[in-house]
Amino acid sequence: MVPTIDAFKCDGCSICVQRCPPQIMGLVKGRATILTDLCEECGICAEVCPIGAVRFKLIHHDTTATHDGYQTRPR
C-alpha cells in the first residue's frame, strides 16, 4: 500500500523526503508529496515522520477461503 500524506498535518520538515530510499518524495508548496507510481512501499517515510503526517497501513487480508469449489455433498 502506498503511503498517504495528510497535507493539513504536514509541517514541511522534509525528514521523510531525506530518508526516502528511492528518492521519490519532495516538497510542493511546503508540504511533502510522493510519486505514487514509483513508490516501493517500504514505509520508512511513515516511520520517520515526527508528527504522524505520513500514514502507511498494510491491508489486512482475510485468509478464509472465498470459493465453494470443494463443498461436501449430503449423503
Q: What is the pLDDT of residue 45?
A: 94
What was the pLDDT predicted at 67?
A: 57
Tell me the percentage of the chain whose pLDDT exceeds 70.
76
Q: How many residues does the chain have?
A: 75
* Residue 13: pLDDT over 70: yes
pLDDT (tens digit, 9 = 90+) per residue, 41-73? 999 999 999 999 999 876 655 666 555 565 666
What pLDDT, on a 0 to 100 scale, did the predictor assign at position 2?
Answer: 86
Domains and CATH numbers, the chain: 4-55 (3.30.70.20)
